[in-house]
């Protein structure tokens, strides 16, 4: 049996009269809290209001296929649910399970709404309107900002992938043409009845070019192409303007061409040099194709690392890897005017963390730093072991924040950016992820030319603080 005295000392009921508390108790029922027993379930209609009398309730939410602890009701007077008293579509935001034996007062949402209208008619009306309006506006705004941020990230990574993809496509097209030339030159060599000894000598001269260092000076290569074109034309070799660039790029010179002429001579000279040029071009194109596809694979791996695809939400996390994947995702935003300096301690150990959420924090902080520098400056990422924690600093050389802005930076909904700018993740949510989800701290140190966000994450903060 629940008495008025049991609730009178709780701050939640401090402003109610004894008669009002009696009505509230009469409208509800006392539910015993048993460890591990579910009281209400995430996503189901929030048709009851739960007020903790004593004991403790653990709150958890589903993330993909895993359940994550998001909070605890462990102070008498804390409450959950009851949203359908003001919003007909309200649902439980988390699942509540008993953690420590005790009692909780369960009041049906309909009864709570009726009592609220009777006791505070104007206030109840305001709460109902405010709840629906605020939820609608905030949901729409966050969704729009998130879509803009997602579009920006997608456009950036698409731009980074487009360059190697275009190079790979171009290499494949050129490789196709080179292959046809290679086959036709071999047919011509066979028709000229080139002996096995002559072909072996030609192949040895080709291999010799592969071991030579290629000229890196464009002027030297250009002069060499001109000399080779003249030599090829004087010796009756057709399409000299196509063969000379490939031969020059591989380091062939007039002396090498004279050795080829001495080895095979006669009508086989043209097809022989064409065969050599084709093999050299094919080798170069294959190297370009390998480099391009490797870059695409690297970018895909970066996206998977950033999104934590196919990984558990709570895991052992290398903070430096998360920072690096975030920088790679924002590579298009960084551009050529911003220098990224990484200063990672060698003794930094992994931490227990929600990796995808931390990546959201790094994205927000780095994006803010890039905005502050406006395309030019130094972004410094510092990671150090700090006792039983990891300390991360993200610094920029932008103009800095005013004391007024720095003071409000972690306030909910506060932003100095125009609509459509930024990541859609305010510093208030970044603070919640760091402080409430990981048991860490986040602070700002700003002055003109140097703004630093300091994040400190306990190595086992999730297990201790969730």
Residues 135, 137, 140, 142: is their CA dihedral positive or negative? negative
What are phi and psi for residue 390, nearest 5 degrees? -120, 130
Question: How far apart are alpha carbons 139 and 142 in whole angstroms?
Answer: 5
E strand intervals along 41-162: 48-63, 66-73, 79-81, 95-108
Q: Is-contact 318 305, C-beta < 8 A?
A: no
DSSP character string of 219-241: HHHHHHHHHHHHHHHHTT-S-HH
Q: What is the pLDDT along the chain (466 residues), one digit of tens a residue?
A: 788 888 888 888 888 888 988 999 899 999 999 999 999 998 888 899 999 999 999 998 876 567 788 888 999 989 898 888 877 777 888 899 999 999 999 999 999 888 888 887 765 555 655 555 555 544 555 555 555 555 556 666 676 777 788 888 888 888 888 888 888 888 888 876 778 888 899 889 988 887 776 666 788 888 888 999 999 998 888 888 888 888 888 888 899 999 999 988 788 888 889 999 898 888 888 888 888 888 787 777 766 666 555 555 678 889 998 899 888 878 877 877 899 999 999 999 999 888 878 888 898 899 889 988 988 999 999 999 998 899 999 999 999 888 878 887 887 655 655 433 443 346 877 888 888 888 899 999 988 899 999 999 998 755 434 4
pLDDT digits (tens, 9 = 90+) for 442-459: 999 988 899 999 999 998
Q: 385 Cβ partners below 8 Å, 6+ apart?
A: 345, 347, 348, 349, 391
In the chain, where are the structural domains located? Answer: 4-119, 163-296, 310-465
pLDDT digits (tens, 9 = 90+) for 148-206: 555 556 666 676 777 788 888 888 888 888 888 888 888 888 876 778 888 899 889 98
The CATH class of the 4-119 domain is mainly beta
Is the overall model pTM greater than 0.75, yes or no?
A: no
Direct distance between the N- and C-terminal alpha carbons of the chain, in angstroms, rounded to an integer: 32
**In the beta sheet, which residues pair with residue 235?**
none
Output the pLDDT for position 466.
43
Question: How far apart are alpha carbons 333 and 337 in whole angstroms?
Answer: 10
Output the pLDDT for position 418.
44
Would you tell me which CATH number, out of the four given (3.30.70.3040, 3.20.20.140, 3.20.20.70, 3.30.565.10), belongs to the domain 310-465? 3.30.565.10
Question: How far apart are alpha carbons 257 and 252 in whole angstroms?
Answer: 7
Q: Helix, strand, coil shares of the chain as percentages rounded to 5?
A: 55, 20, 25
Output the pLDDT for position 31.
94
> Which DSSP category does 41 fall into?
-
């Amino acid at each position: 049996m629940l008495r008025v005295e049991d609730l009178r000392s709780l701050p939640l009921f401090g402003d109610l009269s004894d008669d009002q508390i009696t009505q509230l108790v009469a409208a509800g029922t006392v539910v015993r809290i048993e460890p591990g027993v579910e009281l209400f379930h995430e996503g189901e209609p929030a048709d009851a209001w739960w007020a903790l009398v004593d004991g403790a309730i653990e709150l958890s939410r589903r993330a993909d296929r895993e359940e994550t602890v998001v909070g605890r009701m462990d102070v008498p007077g804390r409450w959950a649910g009851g949203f359908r008293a003001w919003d007909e579509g309200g649902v439980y935001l988390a699942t509540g399970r008993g953690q420590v034996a005790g009692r909780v007062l369960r009041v049906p949402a309909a009864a709570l709404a009726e009592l609220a209208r009777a006791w505070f008619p104007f206030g109840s009306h305001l709460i109902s309107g405010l709840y629906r309006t605020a939820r609608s506006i905030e949901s729409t705004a966050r969704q729009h900002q998130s879509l803009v941020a997602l579009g920006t990230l997608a456009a950036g990574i698409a731009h980074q992938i487009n360059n190697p993809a275009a190079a790979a496509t171009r290499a494949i097209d050129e490789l196709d043409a080179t292959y046809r030339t290679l086959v036709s030159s071999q047919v011509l060599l066979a028709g000229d009845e080139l002996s096995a000894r002559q072909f072996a000598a030609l192949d040895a001269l080709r291999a010799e070019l592969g071991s030579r260092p290629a000229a890196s000076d464009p002027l030297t290569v250009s002069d060499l192409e001109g000399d080779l074109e003249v030599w090829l034309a004087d010796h009756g070799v057709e399409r000299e303007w196509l063969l000379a660039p490939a031969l020059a790029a591989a380091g062939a010179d007039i002396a090498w061409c004279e050795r080829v002429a001495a080895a095979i001579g006669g009508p086989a000279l043209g097809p022989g040099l064409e065969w050599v040029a084709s093999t050299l071009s094919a080798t170069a194109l294959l190297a370009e194709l390998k480099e391009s596809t490797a870059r695409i694979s690297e970018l895909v791996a970066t996206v998977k690392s950033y999104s934590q695809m196919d990984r558990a939400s709570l895991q052992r996390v290398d903070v430096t890897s998360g920072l690096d994947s975030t920088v790679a995702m924002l590579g298009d935003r960084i551009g050529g005017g911003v220098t990224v300096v990484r200063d990672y301690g060698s003794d930094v150990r992994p931490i227990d963390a929600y990796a995808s959420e931390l990546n959201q924090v790094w994205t927000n902080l780095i994006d803010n730093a890039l905005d502050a520098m406006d395309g030019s400056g130094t972004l410094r990422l510092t990671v150090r072991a700090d006792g039983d924690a990891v300390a991360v600093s993200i610094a920029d050389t932008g103009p800095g924040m005013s004391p007024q802005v720095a003071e409000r930076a972690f306030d909910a909904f506060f932003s100095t950016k125009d609509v459509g700018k930024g990541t859609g993740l305010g510093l208030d949510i970044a603070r919640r992820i760091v402080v409430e989800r990981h048991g860490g701290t986040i602070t700002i140190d700003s002055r003109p030319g140097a703004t630093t966000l300091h994040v400190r994450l306990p190595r086992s903060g999730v297990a201790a603080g969730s």
